[in-house]
Amino acid sequence: MRIAYLVNQYPAVSHSFIRREILALERQGLEVMRIAIRGWRDQALGEEDQFEQKRTRYVLKGRTFGLVAALMQILATSPARLAAAAALVWKTRRPADRPLAVQIIYLLEACRVLLWLRAEKIEHLHAHFGTNSAQVAMLVRELGGPTWSFTVHGPEEFDKPAMIALPEKIARADFVVAISSFGRSQLYRQVPHKQWSKIEIVHCGLEPGFHQNVPAGAGADSRRLVCVGRLCEQKGQLLLLDAARRLVERGVEFELVLAGDGEMRPEIEGLIALYKLEGIVRITGWISSDQVRQEILASRALVLPSFAEGLPVVLMEAMALRRPVISTFVAGIPELVVPGQHGWLVAAGDVEALTSAMLECLAARSEVIDEMGANARVQVLERHDIDREATKLISLFERTATRLSR
């Protein structure tokens, strides 16, 4: 079966789970065409992502001539389809988080993608994220393209469902994937009960190469905690710095690594200076997947005090690497992390609870950290094996094809 993946930006340091999914599908015999809106200029990529970059077609690469030429070709060959797609753009224009001009550009992008899919005889189109990539995929279908589906990760899609026409996308898609039971429940809220059956759960997964050859007990003697994620409001790094300051005031010795970058970096750096945490806290900036792995391996535990989430892949990664986690009772996280067995969960926004959890983690005996890490590894490998999850996706692709052939 020949399918295509459509992503806004691919590859990306924060999208390793998409790469893993694509490669797992290919291991099971599918042919996967990679299409991204942007991402061909990204430099901070690991070796695997650099290889993926060369295999990806980019919709916006080159001059706008390609988009206009695609539009004119569709206009000449399928004017009724183009009119229907334009009507869909008009229908979803309000409320919208992007101006009408940008949504018209999505239509041009869809024309270009459609021609690529036809040339490669693609049978199904799958998009990741319910934002602009799903918008383009929906328009491709309206233009006469193949069946389509999309994966919703959250929390952005859950924050503004009407603004991104999420109910319309769910209604028009052949099926929709949620990455957790919580995510599925949020999609249920957007559509009538009769459409619930098209919403499926497929977890993000890890490939064996990521978590092989990790010795037990390697991080139990470390005094380092690592937080991996974009520096943004939803990840809770400002609260984490408040907790770090409280630990310092109590005389606790530790290190804290913020692995990532983002729009809140200046504010975070300012707070580090205000709290005099320069010798305690280090910001790495954007780093590759391999470097993230090394940062986790050098730590005692991963801490992620998120205010909003889907189900963070970095929690899976840390657990697979035998590291307990400190996180929050948010979204799909409690589906994966059991407090006391795999780490600590605290109420989101509760700085005292976060401080106490970090203190307990740093004070715990090495044997306790080892046991939690071992339990965490078993839990995540049972729930998030990428090849098993890819098999679920393939069955959904094949079921869609079978239904259409009847």
Per-residue pLDDT tens for 49-62?
999 999 999 999 98
Q: Give the pLDDT mean for 218-227.
A: 89
pLDDT score of 400:
94
Q: Give the pLDDT mean for 11-37.
A: 95
- 340 dihedral zone (left: phi>0; alpha: psi -120 to 50; beta): left
Q: Give the pLDDT mean for 186-190.
A: 98
Q: Quickly list DSSP for 94-160.
A: SS-SS-HHHHHHHHHHHHHHHHHHHHTT--EEEEESSSHHHHHHHHHHHTT--EEEEEE--SHHHH-
d(CA 8, CA 73): 24
Digit-coded pLDDT (tens) for 105-134: 999 999 999 999 999 999 999 999 999 999
Is pLDDT at 216 greater than 80 in this prediction?
A: no
Q: Give the pLDDT mean for 62-66.
A: 85
Of the candidate ranges 37-41, 355-359, 378-382, the one whose mean pLDDT is the lowest: 37-41
| Greater pLDDT, 403 or 242 | 242
Is pLDDT at 148 greater than 90 in this prediction?
A: yes
Q: Give the pLDDT mean for 351-357.
A: 98
User: Around Cβ 381, how many Cβ atoms within 10 Å?
Assistant: 16
Predicted confidence band of residue 406 (pLDDT cuts 50, 70, 90):
low
d(CA 123, CA 104): 25
- 139 dihedral zone (left: phi>0; alpha: psi -120 to 50; beta): alpha
Digit-coded pLDDT (tens) for 245-298: 999 999 999 999 999 999 999 999 999 999 999 999 999 999 888 899 999 999
pLDDT score of 140:
98
Helix (H) or strand (E) holding 282: strand 281-283
Q: Which two tokens stand for residue 197?
A: 């059956």
How many helices (H) and strands (E) the chain has is answered by 18, 13
Is pLDDT at 214 greater than 90 in this prediction?
A: no
**What type of residue sits at position 271?**
L
User: Around Cβ 293, how many Cβ atoms within 10 Å?
Assistant: 21
Mean residue pLDDT of the chain comes to: 95
Is pLDDT at 405 greater than 70 in this prediction?
A: no
Strand partners, 206: 385
Q: What is the DSSP letter of 13?
A: G
Is pLDDT at 221 greater than 60 in this prediction?
A: yes
Q: Who's near 24: CB < 8 A, 6+ residues apart?
A: 205, 207, 386, 387, 389, 390
Q: What is the DSSP letter of 306?
A: -
Helix (H) or strand (E) holding 69: helix 65-77
Q: Give the pLDDT mean for 221-231.
A: 96
Q: Which of 36-57 are b and which e, b meaning 16 or more Cβ less than 10 Å from the residue's Cβ? A: bbebeebeebbebbeebbeebb
Helix (H) or strand (E) holding 228: strand 224-228
Is pLDDT at 208 greater than 70 in this prediction?
A: yes
Domains and CATH numbers, the chain: 2-205+385-405 (3.40.50.2000), 208-383 (3.40.50.2000)
- 393 dihedral zone (left: phi>0; alpha: psi -120 to 50; beta): alpha
Burial status of residue 78 (CB atoms within 10 A of its CB: 0-12, 13-18, 19 or more)? middle
Digit-coded pLDDT (tens) for 3-17: 999 999 999 988 899
Q: Give the pLDDT mean for 230-255.
A: 97
Predicted confidence band of residue 96 (pLDDT cuts 50, 70, 90):
confident
What does pTM read for this prediction?
0.94
